[in-house]
Chains A and B, each alone.
Chain A
Amino acid sequence: MKKTGYGQARARSVLTKTLLVMKIWLLWLIPLGVSMAGTAHSQNLTLDLTDVTIREVLHTVESKSEYSFFYNDSFTDLDKKVSVHARNEPVRTVLDRLLAATGLTYTFMEGNLVVISPRPLPTQAVITGQVLSATDNQPLPGVNVSVKGTTQGTITNVDGRFSIAAGSTAVLVFSFIGYVPTEVPVGSQTTLNVSLAEDLTKLQEVTVVSTGYQDVDQRLFTGSVVKLEGSDVKTEGTVDVGRMLQGRAAGVSVQNVSGTFGAAPKIRVRGATSITGDNKPLWVIDGVVLEDVVNVSAEQLTTGDPNTLIGSSVAGLNADDIESITVLKDASATAMYGARAKDGVVVIKTKKGKAGKPQISYTGNFSTYLKPSYDNYNILNSVDQMSVYSELERKGLLNHSDVSRSANGGVYKKMYDVINEKYGVDDGGFELPNIASERRAFLQRYALANTDWFDVLFKNSFVQEHSLGVSSGTEASQLYFSTSYYDDNGWTIADRVRRYTANARATFKLSDKLNLGFITTGSVRDQRVPGTVSRQIDPVAGGYNRDFDINPFSYALNTSRVLTPYDANGQREYFTRNYAPFNILNETDKNYIDLGLLDLKIQGEAGYTFNKDLRYDFIGAVRYVKTTTEHSVEEGSNMAEAYRAANSQVVRQGNKFLYYNPDYPNADPVIVLPQGGFYNRTDDEMVSYYFKNQFAWNHTFNGIHQANLVIGQEIRQVDRRNAFNNGFGYQFSKGGVAFTDYRIIKQLLEGNFNYFGMGDQRERYASFYAGGTYSYKGKYVLNSTVRMDGSNRLGESTTARWLPTWNASVAWNLDTERFMEGVTLLDFLTLRAGYGLTANAGNATNASSIYRSGNTNRPYLDESESQVIIESLENSDLTWEKQYETNIGINTGMFNRITFTVDYYRRDHFDLISVIKTSGIGGEAYKAVNYADMKSHGVEIAAGATVFTRGPWSWATNAVFSYNKSRITNLRNQPRIFDLVFPDGGALEGYPVRGLFSVDFQGLNPSNGVPVFTNHDGIRSSDVYLQSLNISHLKYEGPVDPTVTGGFSNTFKYKNLSLNLFLTYQGGNKIRLNPSFQSSYSDLDAMPREFVDRWLVAGDEQYTQVPSIPDLVTLSQLGAVYPYNSYNFSSARVADGGFVRLRTVTLAYTLPSKFYGKTGLNNATVSLTGTNLWLLYADKKLYGQDPEFFTSGGVAMPVARQITASIKLSF
């Protein structure tokens, strides 16, 4: 609607202007022909008129005298109000006075005819030029250029260029918010290059908002946005750009769910917008959408699976290349991204070359991760742990026969094995006689071991990062080149990373009209992480499991401190896992994953300026990413040896890694990996293409009406391929010769697995958009955008494919109003309001039926068939997930030292995909349907202030606060108890998008210390059926996502020394404590310190909530009931998620320039940064468990405490 309005308005004004020009021509003809006849006149006038128009004055004169006036009726000056007082004065004098303040003049003609005509202008020439910022020599777009004393004016384009007609006597005025207005006399010049100095008294809000489609003056921007300079965000020692945003931007919550290199943090802009979707913001770098290499949803980030390390493409970005980061938050800001913008957009601009002599900058970071320590975690020491074991032994839970036959075992199993198997060499006796005193002596060594697993598995690592950038250029071409090297030799003994990046950017100005740009970026990563397999959910007992987990952090937390890595002789000591010998040092040596990643992007840009108003831009980019994940399991590792553990019939029957051959139903399972280990390889490949064509039209009418129109089209194509190949019997020690037993393949195939496979994903998007902005004198701004997106994501159906989105928004720069002129304490004040529709394609692709080929699940290979299954019925109603958003915001600055931005928003999410249980009659019992609705709202506040400046001292502060709350208003799902009690929560109508629920803990059973709950039927019982659909007796704890997040930064400066303290905080969410309780424990388990308070005798239940270690009698009574698992999911195991963390402390010193001498240095800064040093506040129940980190094993590690020394030089 709005767009058509604009079109009509413009057409009309152009038309009237044309007519006006024609009339003036006519007028010019008359004076030329008759001016020779001009004579003197002497008639005098007496007038006394107040506040009338000139037109009226002329009418009065006409009526009072013999003069007739001839003028063009459309001269606007005629409507100017004037007061004329004349007492018997000549007409000429009166007219002189009357027309002095106008652009009109008069000529006397024959017969008392007076022609009023425009004052002849001095000869005008077209002046062109460029406006640059004096600070960094960058072009300034949007600068107001006007001819002094007239209404004539224009605005500079994206490259800071302008052209304006002005006479030689004219003076051009360049004004731009945040810069000192500059006046330049034209003289004889036709080219004027001006550089504007920043107005230091008005530091704030000078910004240009880069949406990725356009650069807009912040005063004319109607959306909600956070703009951060690269230099402000950059945290030395932190590699991931996403992490740097934590606490910096209002409305952006960043949770470091894993600290491993490459693992993206969980980033949410204004909270979650989808129940089943990814909820990840869109990343846009230099105008091109950054696609993820593999799709890892926000929920998957917490799994610790290896693909979380390659999912995020941001990890390949060198933070030193970043010029600025803009986070687009509301529908008005993200409108240009239409149906992919529901989760917000993070726009990154990288650095460009600058004209001038080459500038070289170098940044070097040298940091170390501090080893974790048991002081921060509540794990029993070895003496306490051994006393728990002896309780287990007393209760019959570590008896000789069971333990010596079990798959996993620690010191007790070892003791029994020694008793059973080892004979003394000399006296022929047993090495360890089975006598109580001898056994005690054997265990004594372990009881006193108190192994510090953190010390064994972690190191104070050394990380170095070097980044070198060169910028150079002339007027016609600019170059920027940078390269960086990152080397982390590993916080643990099982990981290390190297990363190389290169970035080359060139911009060429081929003519005044045509410019070209090229960007080539590449990064290479080489990373080693501990060997791991994907985790699985066990819905029966409740919990996740991951076989062969050797994550050092999990290992240190979950392994008894009684165990020792080395035996008395200093040799590696092995205990038993999966019936095979296990030593963590040996395992990390022989079971590892190597990740290789190559990421290359080539981008081309072209711009053509038709005239001062119209411009065409093209961007095209190709990106190619290849990752290889090689999981090597060498012979001698526990994972390989477990396939060869078959030394007794008990082991053969119990070992699930042996092969039961259905062809010989009576035979024991046999070894099918006689030699070698595994070489499992996964290749992920992504090729993406992006093309954009855009026309932008900018025009200012009469210096008052500023209009801007953008119309464009873009295409995106993403092809992903995942291929895997599992190699069995690869002999690492024999030059890599494979020795494969055919039966292991047969075993796999009979188990319905394949040893290799490949899958493709193809995404196609085509979009068309148009947007317009109108501003009146920079006071009132109207903006509207419409966009049409098409995608293949929803499936083959052509009807569901297209979606239009739109928005409308306004801004009012209150400070420019006349009535505000007196308010001097206010620097600026802008009110904004916007409303619009954004969307995302949800996680359903069945706009037409989805058929998948597969194989039948049958036990015998010769009875197996290929089949085509209907994965999903056609859903002709399928559509995108959408939301309407209303945003109201204020930006203000006061006293030249305080800035303040507040935003309030309300979101109506609808057509969200929800999995719904259907009648089943159509053949699909659970369908993904656009059914769910959700509402959310929030407040964001960002405040900055220079608190204090006196002489060399200054103190600046910056605070960010965000609040977000969501409620699912419609969701017809049927969760089981199990779906809601997990650490990452579940979705339920009436609750937040992810709510944490608990089994309601009711105390301990006084007779045996077993926990009792309000169970699924509402009865007090130890028996909770976690798969029950009756969830009405669960206790709601709170949201899993924090409702409040923010940061608080303070910078103190004294001369060249500065100290920055940066705190981050979050709150309002609940955390499930690590699952430490089990029905039965082995002599491997490490227990948290709560176990000291455990129930021991009747009566303890009045004082403690920590359940007992059940004895055999209790266990047999429990049968198939899992109260201890339920306890892990109970209200007793929930902590508050709020925390305040000292995120970084930075002390920096800039060397005074007198030291630079002849070195050529411009600037030299050294700094020391401490990251994550102190958790100021967290719930005591956490006992050191990181409130951000999900202990999920695999490749996940918490964010380390880190100290970084950094040096920055520029020449």
Chain B
Amino acid sequence: MPTLKRDLTVEQKLSRGPMDLPFLMLVVMLTAIGVITVFSASFPTAVSEGWKDGPYHYFIRQAMFAAAGIVAMYFVSKINYQAFRWMSVFVLCAAIAMLVIVLFFHTKRTDNVKRWIPLGPLTFQPSEAAKLGVILYFSARMSKRQSEKKRQYDLRTPKGVMFNWMEDVGLMELVPYVAILGVIAILMYLEPHLSGTILIFVAAAAILFAGGIKLRWFGIGIVCVGILAMLMLQGYQSARIVTWRDPWSDPSDRGFQIIQSLYSIGSGGLFGLGFGQGRQKQGFLPEAENDFIFSVWCEEMGLVGACIVLILFMLLIIRGYWIALHARDRFGALLVVGITTLMAAQVFLNISVVTNLLPTTGISLPFFSYGGTALMIQLAEMGIVLGVSRQIPAPKQG
């Protein structure tokens, strides 16, 4: 026989199915809008910083990463996601290792925040890896939940009785998840990185929730988080709340960012000042190309533009969950739920912060905020979702 290809396994066949086109289109559109917005938001900063490529400095970099990210997304989508089951443990371990490393090896900053590991000209946030690790591992573990046998305990010892009871009420199965989240939370608290921690918790909670963990544990979890939040509301954090309620109480310091953001959004009105015409980015709005990029978009494109972007995000998120609902197996479903929820939480928190719906915390806007590695990881995650979408069984004909 001439060089006949070996028959593909069923799995391989499945992983060569078509990508979910609506999801892909939404990702590409948002990325494109995001990169263009980075250009508009960053050129005054770029000019005043005096880069040799002038106003295009940030734009060029972001565009390059976006292109690379789209390519990466494509290749990730080609990977049969079942492979992530076994990879997940390593990803999680690597992420935790990096969270430790970053505490000792990080970029120097005046505020002494230890979030970035320098990688040559680039920087890398271990928390991004932690998000992915948690989502992968939790999905993999939760998907096996139903097949796990009930453990037997020696009921003659009190310890055994207690464990048995814990097993019965479903507490025992939570132990590894809580342990992992606890370790990560502690490590990220040391950076410190509150917003990243919140996002990891939300994504993890979504996977546990969809995976079927009893609702009472979420109730208990929310109470615990509430108590923790109350305790943290002392000192610095409580000042943050005051600023949130009334940014004008400290307009030149704490309230400055949010006031400038509100000025930007507000002065956009219904139709905005026109693309590139924003004024607030001229040194008034801090981090115009980063956390507050959506404010620039609102100033230039108005409420109409803002709504278009929000609707694109809504469609993307809904489509993400749709993919989860149609996924071939539980692992795929949970994986997509985790990634989609993570993105949704990030969008919600970022826009809530820039519109002062919630107190300020540093969360970037997916596909928009400047940051090459973050954009690449995001697109890679989208690639995972698209990979899952490839294996969706085709609807029955006829």
Interaction A to B = no
B-side residues, CB < 8 A to A, are none
